[in-house]
Amino acid sequence: MKRVITFGTFDVLHIGHINILERAKALGSHLCVGISSDQLNFSKKGRNPIYSEKQRLKIISSLRFVDEVFIEESLDLKGGYLKQYSADILVMGDDWTGKFDMFSSQCEVKYLPRTPAISTTEIIEIVKNIE
Ligand code: C2G
C-alpha cells in the first residue's frame, strides 16, 4: 500500500499530464499531487499560468486516479511535503532527472519518461498563432 507523491503546475491540462498522473498512481495505492502556486509558477517560468491555482487544484482533484491535492508554495519545502504526506515514492517526469535525488534517503525517487511532443508552452504558442 504505497503512497505516491508528485508535483507540477498542470496548467492547460494535456495528455502528458494525464499520462504521468496515471503512471504515478499505478506505482502505489494513493496518489497525492502538489500543485504549484501561481507565485511558484511565476518564479519557475516567468509568466502567470493560464488557469489560476484554485482552478488547477479543482481540475486535478477531479481526476479518478488522484486521491489528494495541495498547493506547493515553494520548491524549498519539498522535504517537508514528503514528510507531511507520508510519501513512499516521489515521481517526476524525466525533465527533472537528478534534481530530486537528495530526497532518496526519505523515499524512493522515480523519474518517468515524458510524453513526447506536447507541452503547455507549445499549446500556448499554437493557440497564439491561430489566425
Ligand atoms: N510532463 C510529462 N510529459 C509532458 C509534459 C509534462 O510527463 N509532455 C510531466 C512533467 O515532467 C511533470 C508533470 O508532467 O512531472 C507536470 O508538468 P508541469 O506542469 O510542466 O510541471 P513543472 O512546472 O515542471 O513543475 O516541484 C517540481 C515542479 O513544481 C514541477
Query: Would the CB of 95 count as within 6 Å of ligand 1?
Result: yes
CB of 9 within 8 A of CB of 50? Answer: no
Structure confidence at residue 49 (pLDDT):
97
pTM higher than 0.85, yes or no?
Answer: yes
Q: Is the pLDDT of residue 52 over 90?
A: yes
Query: Would the CB of 100 count as within 6 Å of ligand 1?
Result: no
Ligand 1 pocket test, pick from 5, 14, 25, 36 with the greatest ligand atom count within 8 Å of Cβ, gives 36
Structure confidence at residue 4 (pLDDT):
99
Confidence of residue 12 (pLDDT cuts 50, 70, 90): very high
pLDDT in tens, 82-107: 999 999 999 999 999 999 999 999 99
Query: Would the CB of 49 count as within 6 Å of ligand 1?
Result: no
Ligand 1: distance of its center to the CA of 18 in Å? 11
Please name the residue ranges forming H helices in the chain.
15-26, 38-45, 53-61, 78-84, 120-128
Structure confidence at residue 131 (pLDDT):
83
- Averaged pLDDT for residues 18-23: 98
Q: Whose CA is nearest to atom 4 of ligand 1?
A: 16
Cell numbers standing for residue 95: 525533465
What value does the mean pLDDT of the chain take? 97
- The domains found in the chain, sorted by start residue, are 3-128 (3.40.50.620)
Ligand 1: distance of its center to the CA of 117 in Å? 13
Which one, of 8, 4, 32, 16, lies nearest residue 123 by Cα?
16
DSSP classification of residue 37 = P
Give the whole-angstrom CA distance, residue 43 versus residue 16: 22
pLDDT in tens, 29-49: 999 999 999 999 999 889 999
Confidence of residue 20 (pLDDT cuts 50, 70, 90): very high
CA–CA–CA angle 31, 100, 29 (5° rounding): 15
CB of 115 within 8 A of CB of 19? Answer: yes
- Averaged pLDDT for residues 46-61: 97
Ligand 1: distance of its center to the CA of 93 in Å? 6
